[in-house]
Chains A and B, each alone.
Chain A
Amino acid sequence: QLVQSGAEVKKAGESLRISCEGFGDTFYNLWIGWVRQRPGKGLEWMGIIFPGDSDTRYSPSFEGQVKISVDKSISVAYLQWSSLKASDTAVYYCAKWEFWSYNSSGQFDSWGQGTRVTVSS
């Protein structure tokens, strides 16, 4: 139920914003997150955002490296970079995050199809 924007090919130093939309009217009350998967590597938890009030949680590994935002008027979440690096080459998944216990446990229970980002140096 989450649909992501298409593949991107960029050069190092360029900016980029990719998007994720879905869940219609309920988007406002869902946590939406982003996960990175570099080529041949594992999943990396990047961060989540609550569209209702833009409350955002970043993994320490990604704090300051990317920006997660939303436009709740159109039910779209974004992941953006101000200056891409070759090491940002990866597939990026958006997914719906569900807290089991608020701010202490949760899981991604619905995933988008992934957006492939290729950055050349």
Chain B
Amino acid sequence: SYDLTQPPSVSVLPGQTATISCSGDNLADKYVAWYHQKPGQSPVLVIYVDVQRPSGIPARFSGSNSANTATLTITGTQNVDEGDYYCQAWDKTAGLFGGGTRLTVL
């Protein structure tokens, strides 16, 4: 079965750049989406098809996907960006999520 691997946690200072990785075999052959979930809330889509931002998502969120790794980048991280981030892709006949990364803004 196909797996998406994320680091359990990432820490960043306010105003700095946070990068969250998502790894899978030949992941660049797939499109990746990213979701942000705050405690007690439903997830929110922040990036889809590797690089697209949905309406209402700030421009500080960006994505890339190359070789075996997709990356979510938050430039000028703010306190409101804390929470869990999940990557998601499609494999054969179904979707799947990565294990999630807890982003802490120090």
**A interface with B by C-beta (< 8 Å):** 33, 35, 42-45, 47-48, 57-60, 93, 95, 97-98, 100-101, 103-109, 111-114
> Could you jot down 6 A-B contacts, CB within 8 Å?
A42-B86, A42-B99, A48-B95, A59-B94, A101-B31, A108-B43
Are A100 and B31 in contact, CB atoms less than 8 angstroms apart?
Answer: yes
How many chain B residues touch the partner (CB < 8 A)?
Answer: 26
A46 to chain B, nearest CB (A): 9
A107 touches B44 (CB 8 A): no
Complex Cα gap A20–B93 (Å): 23
The number of A-B residue pairs with CB atoms under 8 Å apart is: 71
Contacts A100-B31, A105-B30; is A59 near B96 (CB within 8 Å)?
A: yes
How many Å lie between the Cα of A103 and that of B94 in the bound state?
8
With contacts A43-B35, A105-B49, A105-B89 taken as known, whether A113 is within 8 angstroms of B95 at the C-beta atoms is: no
Contact with B90, one of A95, A105, A113 (Cβ below 8 angstroms)? A105
Cα–Cα, bound, A109→B46 (Å): 9
10 pairs of A and B residues whose beta carbons are closest in the complex: A107-B33, A105-B31, A42-B100, A111-B42, A45-B95, A107-B48, A59-B94, A43-B97, A105-B90, A100-B49
Asked whether, in the complex, the Cβ of B94 is within 8 Å of the Cβ of A109, the reply is no
State whether A107 and B97 are in contact (beta carbons under 8 Å apart), knowing that A45-B88, A60-B1, A101-B31 are contacts in the complex: no
Chain A nearest CB from B72 CB (Å) reads 13
Q: Are A93 and B90 in contact (CB under 8 A)?
A: no
Contacts of B37 in A (CB 8 A): 43
A111 to chain B: which residues have CB within 8 Å?
Answer: 42-44
Nearest A residue to B96 via CB reads A45
- Give CA–CA (A109, B47) in the complex, Å: 10
A57 touches B44 (CB 8 A): no
Q: For B100, what are the chain A residues with a Cβ–Cβ distance below 8 Å?
A: 42-43
B105 CB within 8 Å of chain A: no
Known: A59-B94, A109-B54. A93 touches B86 (CB 8 A): no
